[in-house]
Amino acid sequence: MGFVGMGAIAAPQIQIVSGGGGGYPLKSMELRWVYKRKGNKNPDESNKLKPRILPIYISTKSSDTISKAQELRELFNACNHSCHRLPKMDKLGRIEDTVVDIHKLHIALSHSFVTVSVFCNPTQYLNFIDTEKKVETLSVRNLFDNLVPVSVTPSNGKLVGFGRAVSDIGLTASIYDVMVIPSLRGMGIGRMIVKRIIRLLTSKDVYDIAAVCSENERLFFKACEFGDDILGSTTMMYTRTVSTYSES
């Protein structure tokens, strides 16, 4: 999948605070804060920490994601994630065919049982990832700007995370396409997405939930309380493609 980058940031300190009240106009969007302190690499200034706080908005309305299909396609590319189970890979192990068909993406989103999208204010996002600022230059105003929630809707927000699940709504479900933009990985956003998906599935009494993931992503899903199937089952992919059909 290429979504969360476990271990990308060494020992981050994370604080997640439930939001409520003003700052966002849609009841379907829940406000949360992600918080990280990153120590200064200079040993003489080890006591100086650069706090970075970012309000994020979590939506479970499929229409919020469908309206951002183009931006979701860009998120697929940024995360080196493919919708195809058998993607073409280059010599460096990167996916070559990451271009997602928008029409098929719309169909997939509309037929997904659960979609979870994470948005943030574009200006606050840029302030957050601006690592050029030094600790000494951070003012109270710099910190306050990202502490105050700014009105965000799917139309004006930046899509920074996503995940979905398909289900028969009776027995089983599978989680797909969990992604977090690389600059915000290692902060617990991916786990928020998975927990929200699980909460919505179990509220419908669906507990047989599988996660479709690569070997590199197993640690992340284990941290989200997933484990090996006790029956020893594994995913097998149908390998015939359009080209093989045309040749037969």
Q: Specify if 169 maps to a domain.
A: yes
Q: Count of domains in the chain?
A: 1
Q: Specify if 11 maps to a domain.
A: no
Burial letters for 202-226: b for 16+ Cβ neighbours within 10 Å, e otherwise? Answer: eeeebeebbbbbeeebeebbeebeb
Q: Specify if 30 maps to a domain.
A: yes
Q: Specify if 2 maps to a domain.
A: no
Q: Specify if 150 maps to a domain.
A: yes
Q: Specify if 7 maps to a domain.
A: no
Q: Give the pLDDT confidence of 149-197 residue by residue, as tens digits.
A: 677 888 889 999 999 999 999 999 999 999 999 999 989 999 999 999 9
Q: Specify if 167 maps to a domain.
A: yes
- CATH label of the domain that carries residue 199: 3.40.630.30
Mean pLDDT for the chain?
76
Q: Specify if 12 maps to a domain.
A: no
Of 174, 164, 166, 191, nearest to 56 by C-alpha is 191
Q: What is the pLDDT of residue 100?
A: 76
104: domain range?
A: 17-247
Residue 115 has φ and ψ, to the nearest 5°, of: -130, 140
For the segment 63-70, the average pLDDT, to the nearest whole number, is: 90
Lowest mean per-residue pLDDT among 19-23, 79-83, 92-96: 19-23
pLDDT tier for residue 23 given thresholds of 50, 70 and 90: very low
